[in-house]
A and B are shown apart, each in its own frame.
Chain A
Amino acid sequence: MNNGIRKIALIMVFSFVFLSLGLVYWQVVKADEMLDNPANRRAIYLEERITRGGIFDRNGVVLAKTEQTADGKVRTYPQGEMFEPLLGYATVKYGSAGLEATEAETLLGMKNPSILRRIQNAFELQRTGNDLILTLDSRLQETAYQSLQGKTGAVVAIDPQNGDVLALVSQPSYDAGAIEQDWDEIIAEADSPLVNHAFSLFPPGSIMKVVTSAAIFQAGLDTTELYDCEGSTVINGQTIQEQNDKAHGWVNYDLALAYSCNTYFAQYGIKAGVNHFLEAVSNFGFGRDIPFDQYVPISSITRDDPLPENLSLNLFAESTFGQGQVMVSPFHMALITAGVANDGKIMVPHLIDSVLDSKQNSIYRRTPEVWLTPLSKEEAEKITSGMVLAVNKGTASPGAISGAQIAAKTGSAEPGGDGDTHAWYIAFAPAENPEIAVAVLVEHGGTGGGAAAPIAKAVIEKALELKEGEN
Chain B
Amino acid sequence: MGLGVLKLDDMTESGFFLQGAVFSFLILAGALFEIFFCYQGDPYLLPVVQTILAIGLVFLTRINPALAADQFIWANLGLIIYYAVFLILRDYRKLGEYQYLWGMLALLMLLLTLIFGTTINGATSWFRFAGMGFQPEELVKVALLLFLASYLSDNKELLRFGTIQVGKFSLPDAKTMGPFVFIGVFVLGLLGAQKSLGTALVFFLLMVFILYVATERLLYLVVSVPLVMVTGAAGYILFDHVRVRVATWINPWLDASGGAYQISQSIFAISGGRLLGTGLGNGIGAYQIPNADTDFIFSVIAEEIGFIGAMAVISLFIIVVMRCFCVSTRAVDRFGQILAAGIGILIGVEALIILAGVTKMLPLTGLPLPWMSYGGSSMVGHFLLLGILAGISHSSAFSVSQIPIGKQADAL
**Is B271 positioned at the interface, with any CB of A under 8 Å from its CB?**
yes
Which segment of A65-73, A115-123, A404-412 sits at the interface? A115-123
**Is B155 positioned at the interface, with any CB of A under 8 Å from its CB?**
no
CB-based contact A42/B276 at 8 Å: no
CB-based contact B355/A4 at 8 Å: no
Q: Point out the residues of chain A lying under 8 angstroms from B123, CB to CB.
A: none
CB-based contact B359/A19 at 8 Å: yes
Q: Point out the residues of chain B lying under 8 angstroms from A35, CB to CB.
A: 271-272
- Contact A26 to B213, CB < 8 A, known contacts A8-B345, A19-B356: no
**Is B322 positioned at the interface, with any CB of A under 8 Å from its CB?**
yes
- Interface 1/0s, chain A 4-35, versus B by CB < 8 A? 11111101110110111011101110110111
- Chain B's nearest CB lies how many Å from the CB of A115? 9
- Chain B's nearest CB lies how many Å from the CB of A186? 28
CB-based contact A39/B264 at 8 Å: yes
**Is A40 positioned at the interface, with any CB of B under 8 Å from its CB?**
yes
Which segment of B11-19, B131-139, B306-314, B366-374 sits at the interface? B306-314
**Is B288 positioned at the interface, with any CB of A under 8 Å from its CB?**
yes
**Is A363 positioned at the interface, with any CB of B under 8 Å from its CB?**
no
Partner of A125 from B257, B281, B306, B334 at Cβ < 8 Å: B281
- Chain B's nearest CB lies how many Å from the CB of A48? 10
CA distance A9 to B275 in the complex (A): 28
Interface residues of A in 275-313 (CB under 8 A from B): none
**Is B403 positioned at the interface, with any CB of A under 8 Å from its CB?**
no
CB-based contact A122/B272 at 8 Å: no
Interface residues of A in 44-90 (CB under 8 A from B): 45-46, 49
Q: Point out the residues of chain A lying under 8 angstroms from B284, CB to CB.
A: 41-42, 45-46
Q: Point out the residues of chain B lying under 8 angstroms from A27, CB to CB.
A: 270-271, 273-275, 302, 306-307, 310
For A2, the closest partner residue in chain B by CB is: B329
CA distance A125 to B283 in the complex (A): 11
CB-based contact B278/A122 at 8 Å: yes
Q: Point out the residues of chain B lying under 8 angstroms from A13, CB to CB.
A: 318, 322
The interface centre, meaning the residue of A6, A41, A42, A121 with most chain B CB atoms within 10 A of its CB, is A42
**Is B251 positioned at the interface, with any CB of A under 8 Å from its CB?**
no
CB-based contact B270/A122 at 8 Å: no
For B281, the closest partner residue in chain A by CB is: A125
CB-based contact B267/A34 at 8 Å: yes
- Contact A18 to B361, CB < 8 A, known contacts A23-B270, A42-B268: yes
**Is B103 positioned at the interface, with any CB of A under 8 Å from its CB?**
no
CB-based contact A4/B274 at 8 Å: no
**Is A360 positioned at the interface, with any CB of B under 8 Å from its CB?**
no
**Is A236 positioned at the interface, with any CB of B under 8 Å from its CB?**
no
- Chain B's nearest CB lies how many Å from the CB of A38? 8
Partner of B215 from A4, A12, A46 at Cβ < 8 Å: A4
For A21, the closest partner residue in chain B by CB is: B361
- Interface 1/0s, chain B 313-324, versus A by CB < 8 A? 010011001100
Chain B interfacial residues counted at CB < 8 A: 53
CA distance A45 to B289 in the complex (A): 14
Partner of A12 from B214, B276, B278, B321 at Cβ < 8 Å: B321
**Is A37 positioned at the interface, with any CB of B under 8 Å from its CB?**
yes
For B264, the closest partner residue in chain A by CB is: A39
CB-based contact A23/B212 at 8 Å: no
CA distance A30 to B270 in the complex (A): 10
- Contact A5 to B272, CB < 8 A, known contacts A20-B311, A41-B288: no
CB-based contact B341/A5 at 8 Å: yes
Partner of A122 from B209, B267, B279, B307 at Cβ < 8 Å: B279
CB-based contact B216/A3 at 8 Å: yes
**Is A1 positioned at the interface, with any CB of B under 8 Å from its CB?**
yes
Partner of A19 from B273, B275, B321, B361 at Cβ < 8 Å: B361
**Is B337 positioned at the interface, with any CB of A under 8 Å from its CB?**
yes
Q: Point out the residues of chain B lying under 8 angstroms from A41, CB to CB.
A: 284, 288
Interface residues of B in 331-348 (CB under 8 A from A): 334, 337-338, 341, 344-345, 348
Q: Point out the residues of chain A lying under 8 angstroms from B264, CB to CB.
A: 37, 39-40
Partner of B317 from A7, A16, A33 at Cβ < 8 Å: A16
CB-based contact B352/A8 at 8 Å: no
CB-based contact A39/B256 at 8 Å: yes
- Chain B's nearest CB lies how many Å from the CB of A388? 60
- Contact A31 to B288, CB < 8 A, known contacts A5-B341, A39-B256: no
- Chain A's nearest CB lies how many Å from the CB of B321? 6
Q: Point out the residues of chain B lying under 8 angstroms from A8, CB to CB.
A: 209, 212-213, 325, 341, 344-345
CB-based contact A34/B277 at 8 Å: no
CB-based contact B352/A16 at 8 Å: yes
**Is B253 positioned at the interface, with any CB of A under 8 Å from its CB?**
yes
CB-based contact B267/A22 at 8 Å: no
CB-based contact B348/A12 at 8 Å: yes
- Contact A37 to B307, CB < 8 A, known contacts A5-B325, A16-B314, A20-B314: no
- Chain B's nearest CB lies how many Å from the CB of A308? 40
CB-based contact A23/B281 at 8 Å: no
Q: Point out the residues of chain B lying under 8 angstroms from A9, CB to CB.
A: 321-322, 325, 344
Partner of A118 from B156, B276, B322, B360 at Cβ < 8 Å: B276
**Is B282 positioned at the interface, with any CB of A under 8 Å from its CB?**
yes
**Is B262 positioned at the interface, with any CB of A under 8 Å from its CB?**
no
- Chain B's nearest CB lies how many Å from the CB of A454? 53
CB-based contact B256/A37 at 8 Å: yes
- Contact A122 to B311, CB < 8 A, known contacts A3-B216, A4-B212: no
CA distance A327 to B273 in the complex (A): 47
CA distance A199 to B349 in the complex (A): 60
CA distance A41 to B317 in the complex (A): 31
Interface residues of B in 38-73 (CB under 8 A from A): none
Q: Point out the residues of chain A lying under 8 angstroms from B341, CB to CB.
A: 5, 8
**Is B328 positioned at the interface, with any CB of A under 8 Å from its CB?**
yes
Partner of B213 from A4, A19, A37, A119 at Cβ < 8 Å: A4
CA distance A71 to B359 in the complex (A): 37
Q: Point out the residues of chain A lying under 8 angstroms from B281, CB to CB.
A: 125
- Chain B's nearest CB lies how many Å from the CB of A268? 59
CA distance A13 to B267 in the complex (A): 23
- Chain B's nearest CB lies how many Å from the CB of A350? 33
Q: Point out the residues of chain A lying under 8 angstroms from B273, CB to CB.
A: 27
Q: Point out the residues of chain B lying under 8 angstroms from A118, CB to CB.
A: 276
CB-based contact A4/B216 at 8 Å: yes
For B283, the closest partner residue in chain A by CB is: A42
CB-based contact B329/A23 at 8 Å: no
The interface centre, meaning the residue of A6, A15, A30 with most chain B CB atoms within 10 A of its CB, is A15
Q: Point out the residues of chain B lying under 8 angstroms from A20, CB to CB.
A: 311, 314
- Chain B's nearest CB lies how many Å from the CB of A27? 4
CA distance A218 to B404 in the complex (A): 108
Q: Point out the residues of chain B lying under 8 angstroms from A18, CB to CB.
A: 361
For A115, the closest partner residue in chain B by CB is: B276
CA distance A343 to B322 in the complex (A): 77
Interface residues of A in 439-467 (CB under 8 A from B): none
CB-based contact A1/B337 at 8 Å: yes
CA distance A230 to B317 in the complex (A): 93
Interface residues of A in 98-127 (CB under 8 A from B): 118-119, 121-123, 125
- Chain A's nearest CB lies how many Å from the CB of B290? 14
Q: Point out the residues of chain B lying under 8 angstroms from A23, CB to CB.
A: 270, 302, 307, 310-311, 314, 359
Q: Point out the residues of chain B lying under 8 angstroms from A22, CB to CB.
A: 356, 359-361
- Chain B's nearest CB lies how many Å from the CB of A86? 32
5 chain-A/chain-B pairs, Cβ below 8 angstroms: A6-B325, A12-B345, A27-B310, A28-B275, A35-B272
A sample of 9 more A-B contacts (CB under 8 A), given A31-B271, A37-B253, is A8-B341, A9-B321, A20-B314, A22-B356, A26-B270, A27-B270, A27-B310, A39-B264, A40-B264
Task: Name the 5 nearest CB pairs between A and B, nearest first.
Answer: A39-B256, A122-B279, A34-B271, A4-B216, A22-B359
